[in-house]
Amino acid sequence: MNACFSAATTQLSLYWNADDNVEDIRRYTAGGFHPIRLGDVLSPPLSNSDLSPARQYRILHKLGHGAFATVWLAEALHAPSQRYVALKICAAEADSRHELDTYNRIPAGDEMQNVLRLRYSFSLQGPNGVHTVLVHDVLGNLLDAVNAPGGRKHARMLCRQIACGLTALHRHGIVHGDLHSGNVGIALPTLDEHSPYSILDYFGEPECTIVLPTAPQANPEALPPYLVAPILVIDFLASKDPAFADTPLCAVIMDLGNAIAVDEETRPSCTAAAVCAPELMFERVVRSVHPSPTRASDIWSFACTMYELVFGLPLFYLAFPNDELLREMATLCGEVLSGWKSYWESRERLRSTHISREAADADWARQLEDFTKGPGETHTRAEIEEFFALLRSMLKIESERRVSAEEVLQHPWFARANDASG
């Protein structure tokens, strides 16, 4: 199945409803998620030719979830040199083979230091099917690091690191396809120095919602006994590890589940609306199709991500695939594509909006004033003018006119990216 598979769900009534920060319990069905209990030890099956010690991963806590997987903090019992890993346990129906093939295209070396490595992978048989498990380094949340006191000063440096990672991916023919702040993590190099007890003691007793259906289930083993709220490991390090505070932040692009190689067959894009390029969004809104992402659509997504990191605000508020988002995109860019004109004229809200280069210039000028006024602002007018020039070279409504990742990386705005104020 492709990366935009329809999530397998089943109707299920429970006595207690969990908060929004956990996965949908209805995904625990045939083809869906694998039920996990804290303390479970997962062991890949050994092959006849495997002479290395058996790998064992003990589940310690939840790190997060997405539409295609749950992610867990695990202790690598067999590898004292790397105590902790993140286990991404994919839904049985997910197209995990594609993600594995994408990781296999990534070469080793410093060039890819800002792209998450795949440490290992294995298959896991469960009541809901066969699941691919991807073993990665544990990463912190990018926005947590940037939004922490004093964290915003690192935004330019982090943007440059993301640009390095994206440039490396594009150079090797890989389009990320879903680049946004939630798909970029922060490396946690000092995590392995802490004991499981110290980490778990810091977060206290896990926040769990007991899974108790209101009616007997035909396949009760398909369900987990409880749903676990995730933890933010970076909070532990920021609070309890002075060495981490003194370690320069390092951004790492992750989640290649929606990535595509430029030489493979087209695959539908699943780019989040808030960072989705206009050419993809127009097809999604007008024709209900999802074209493949491209290097150029990655550039648009990256521009939206940089704006959020630098200013702490999304470029497009409450973004949904609709006419309003198309209108905001055209207004920002100051033009409507010729291929959009017939649709544009058929919608009263769109055709009545004044779209021009002059109006777009005025809007960017207003933003410049907003971000430079007040005694608490950390950006000079010249810095923001330079940053806006970079953004506008990336946010071209015509994809062919956008700069490449290489050109983004060479932009003068990044010249001071390693400064303390960057």
- Residues that constitute the known binding site for ATP: 88
Which positions make up the binding site? 88
Give the CB-side neighbour count of residue 36, counting CA atoms within 13 A.
Answer: 37
What is the Cα–Cα distance from 254 to 216, expressed in whole angstroms? 39
Query: Under a CB-based contact definition with an 8 Å cutoff, are residues 98 and 68 in contact?
Result: no
